[in-house]
Structure 1
Amino acid sequence: MSENQPGEFRSGFVCFVGRPNTGKSTLTNALVGEKIAITSNRPQTTRHTIRGIVNRPDAQIILVDTPGLHRPRTLLGQRLNDLVRDTYSEVDVVCICVPADEAIGPGDRWIIDQVRTMAPKTTIVGIVTKIDRVTPDKVAEQLLALSRLLGGNSEVVPVSAKKGEQLDILADVLVSLMEPGPAFYPDGELTDEPEQVLMAEFIREAALEGVRDELPHSLAVVIDEVIPREDSDPPIVDVYAILYVERDSQKGIIIGHRGSRLKAVGTQARQQIERLLGCKVYLDLRVKVAKDWQRDPKQLRRMGF
């Protein structure tokens, strides 16, 4: 590891990888300081590589939050895996995320093997996430286990994104592994994601709360139109979105009794979108059935995959 010289600015790209639901999106949001990636206790919530930008006086870290690498069962799953693999060789550091409260298993070893195969020259850092959930002794055990798995040359850092613990230490480690270079984005910019993508993600996150296991993978959100109202004071933006599911029974789950669930989804998502846009929003949500869209190349393209 090399030390920064006084006045030397560093920049680089960092990718968080790991099994689904290991806290990658929460960690991205915590480091950036704003919500740019949606979080859920459901696996495979992230479907895009979302770039978060960490601005420091001495460095700029571009975080690439990827979908969880997994053994795919659908064409969508395969495309998400391809997205992750393409990212490995394009970043300066790959961070392997392992939660403190789950034993390291075959899935973690498979991911590490995939990273080493796809990007043999990329620096690997181990991150033990969710340390607030276990005792210090358990954290120490997991750090040792991950260090053994990665080898003595890899840094291993424990963090709690939820509590904000050790985030500065992690950022320091990442910066130390980067080469001197210019900022890639203007100071103050937090993400390069288009607003419409973020809007769709906020709606999907709200819709995923409290639903049954079969629904998360079957749900996609497409922003149909975004129309600023003319001569409105204060400004109002009309956002029209379509929530796609694969079966009629899933449509009923999303809408709820007399539309109660869909209304709650709209209320939660609208608050996030208003924060994003900085103005009042009218949010119109429609639910449609697109049969087996996860396995249909034509429908996947229409939904942005």
Structure 2
Amino acid sequence: MIPQAPPEFRSGFIGIIGRPNVGKSTLMNQLVGQKVAITSPVAQTTRNRLQGILTTKDAQLIFVDTPGIHKPHHQLGEVLVQNAKIAIESVDVVLFVVDVTTTCGAGDRYVADLLSRSSTPVILGLNKIDEQPPNLLEINESYTKLADSQQWQTVKFSAKTGVGLPELQQLLIQNLEPGPYYYPPDLVTDQPERFIMGELIREQILLLTREEIPHSVAISIDQVQETPTITRVMATIHVERDSQKGILIGKGGSMLKAIGSAAREQIQKLIAGKVYLELFVKVQPKWRQSRIRLAELGYRVEE
């Protein structure tokens, strides 16, 4: 049930925007207090606009975790970047996340230029303050200059350790208008369970294969059968080449077994119950270049 919000209650949608691999998904998981987005050392982990929901006694914050904004090299990349751009215009506040282990670069300036053309309020989030290198002054100055040029508020934090997140949360609430509950207070994401299951499988592929199988992987959940004692999940891993299929299966099926075992553990946490997971690998040549294949696998330009 969605309750009636008190008079001073604030709510709204917050777009988490930035270059690939600046810690957007890690940040959303920390703020929500639960894993709803996959994370990986590999750039371009997030593909769908994933919503995480944080409800406090004073506010409801709906975080929209978007794909990293980058120069696309295929149809999938075009869709991802287009969806991130659409998110800028469809939220109440943008949290522009940057990685302060390096100075402000061309990629950050490209995102800043996109944001400068929008009327959506922007907060510049300086992430990874726990990892800052010796040239701290130079790095800080580069982002101070960026924020000052746009008159953006700034906040420093570490998505990994949680340092500075209470201050970030408070600043975000202050930038929201009074509003209703959009979702029940106990909900942490609007994504269906099947989608999260697929993402948890994809996360393990990214973690275990790293550069060998970069982003030519998509997951479809073919069947979920629930009984009182166990949930049976059948899923297909789609790749573009036979060589990738061989890597994913591994010698004697060792890699597929490792992926399945690690993903099963994560899915068990998601549904709080026992899981049997069966994985298949299918070659779909050039699926990232085909709008039809992308749509079949759930990648569409958002409305």
Q: Which TM-score applies when normalising by structure 1?
A: 0.92
The answer for the alignment partner of 2:128 in structure 1 is 130
Out of 264, 268, 285, the residue aligned to residue 291 of structure 1 is: 285
Shift of 1:55: 1.1
1:239 aligns with 2:233: yes
Determine if contact 1:226/1:237 at 8 Å carries over to the other structure.
Answer: yes
CA distance in 2, matches of 1:298, 1:76: 11
The answer for the alignment partner of 2:297 in structure 1 is 303
The answer for the alignment partner of 1:51 in structure 2 is 51
Determine if contact 1:100/1:142 at 8 Å carries over to the other structure.
Answer: yes
The answer for the alignment partner of 1:70 in structure 2 is 70
Q: How many residues align?
A: 293
Determine if contact 1:126/1:147 at 8 Å carries over to the other structure.
Answer: no
Determine if contact 1:126/1:154 at 8 Å carries over to the other structure.
Answer: yes
Determine if contact 1:17/1:66 at 8 Å carries over to the other structure.
Answer: yes
Out of 171, 182, 185, the residue aligned to residue 184 of structure 1 is: 182
1:129-163 Cα deviation digits (max 9, x unpaired): 1111126972x654442232132631111111111
1:84-113 Cα deviation digits (max 9, x unpaired): 111111111111111121221111100111
1:14-41 Cα deviation digits (max 9, x unpaired): 1111110000000000000000000011
Instruction: Write the mapping of 1:97-246 to structure 2, written as runs, cut at 5 A.
Output: 97-117=97-117, 120-134=118-132, 138=136, 141-151=138-148, 153-213=151-211, 215-229=213-227, 232=228, 235-246=229-240
Question: Residue 217 of structure 1 aligns to a residue in which SS?
Answer: coil
The answer for the alignment partner of 2:253 in structure 1 is 259
Determine if contact 1:273/1:281 at 8 Å carries over to the other structure.
Answer: yes
Question: Residue 191 of structure 1 aligns to a residue in which SS?
Answer: coil
CA distance in 1, matches of 2:292, 2:10: 42
Determine if contact 1:146/1:156 at 8 Å carries over to the other structure.
Answer: no
CA distance in 1, matches of 2:201, 2:129: 29
Percentage identity across aligned positions?
45
Determine if contact 2:129/2:157 at 8 Å carries over to the other structure.
Answer: yes
Question: Residue 211 of structure 1 aligns to a residue in which SS?
Answer: helix
CA distance in 1, matches of 2:130, 2:147: 23
CA distance in 2, matches of 1:184, 1:143: 37
CA distance in 1, matches of 2:123, 2:135: 21
- CA change 1:137–1:107 in 2 (3 A) is closer
